[in-house]
A = this chain, B = another copy of it.
Amino acid sequence: MSRPSTPLLSPEIIGEAALALSAAGEPFGVNAIARRLGVRPSSLYNHVDGMDGIVELMRGRLVEDYRVEPQGESWDEYLLALLREQRRMYADHPQLVPLLVGKTITHPAVIAAYDDLATVLVEGGFPEGDVLAVIGILDAFAIGFGLDLASPEEVWQPGEETRTLGRILENGERGDARSDRTFELGARLLVDSLRTRFRS
């Protein structure tokens, strides 16, 4: 059983297993992936360049799975759709966030997605000198709200008396409802202020 007639593994299979583990909130290391695929950890190294390679694979699959293609809608509608989808993506894979933002992006599909965004902004009338900053703001937004959505049902649990926070928490929502309201307000504020500042 040292070499099967038809391969058990491939980069695609490995990437998919890694993402499934990550989406389930479980560790997605070499050993965990091998366990899930019924294979020895060392087998993975025939298809993938270690843990770094696996992360690159995951990045590629994520762009595909959460891709939002411009359909000719107005820039603000596109931005809202993109923000919503990206937030979902980071919320589904919070453990992956530091690994994704810690490395330079070279993956062609990811570059293409950012190129789409840059093009929509330029065609929407944004000054070219500001486009990079706007892209960065959108990314920061999506990551921040994604992690917020992934955070526990109860974010704050005051032990002692508070002046304001405790009262606000009692009357406010919690869990996904709280995170959704936060995101919707934030997204609206952002898009509105972009429109105001760069009205064309």
Contacts and interface: CB of A to CB of B under 8 A. Distances in A.
A197 B186 contact: no
Nearest to A185: B133
A169 B118 CA distance: 10
| Majority SS at the chain A contact face | helix
A155 interface: yes
A142 interface: yes
B182 A115 contact: no
A63 B140 CA distance: 22
A145 B159 CA distance: 30
What number of copies of this chain does the assembly contain? 2
Interface residues of A, number: 71
Contacts of A181: 132-133
27 contacts: A95-B98, A97-B147, A98-B98, A101-B147, A102-B150, A102-B152, A104-B155, A111-B158, A111-B165, A114-B165, A115-B162, A118-B165, A129-B171, A131-B168, A132-B168, A132-B169, A132-B182, A137-B182, A137-B186, A137-B189, A140-B145, A140-B148, A141-B141, A141-B144, A144-B144, A190-B190, A196-B196
Given A108-B160, A119-B163, A131-B164, 16 more contacts: A101-B147, A111-B156, A115-B164, A118-B162, A119-B165, A122-B168, A129-B171, A132-B182, A133-B185, A136-B178, A140-B147, A140-B183, A141-B144, A143-B147, A190-B190, A193-B193
Interface of A: 94-95, 97-98, 101-106, 108, 111-112, 114-115, 118-119, 122, 128-134, 136-137, 139-145, 147-148, 150-152, 154-160, 162-169, 171-173, 178-179, 181-183, 185-186, 189-190, 192-194, 196-197
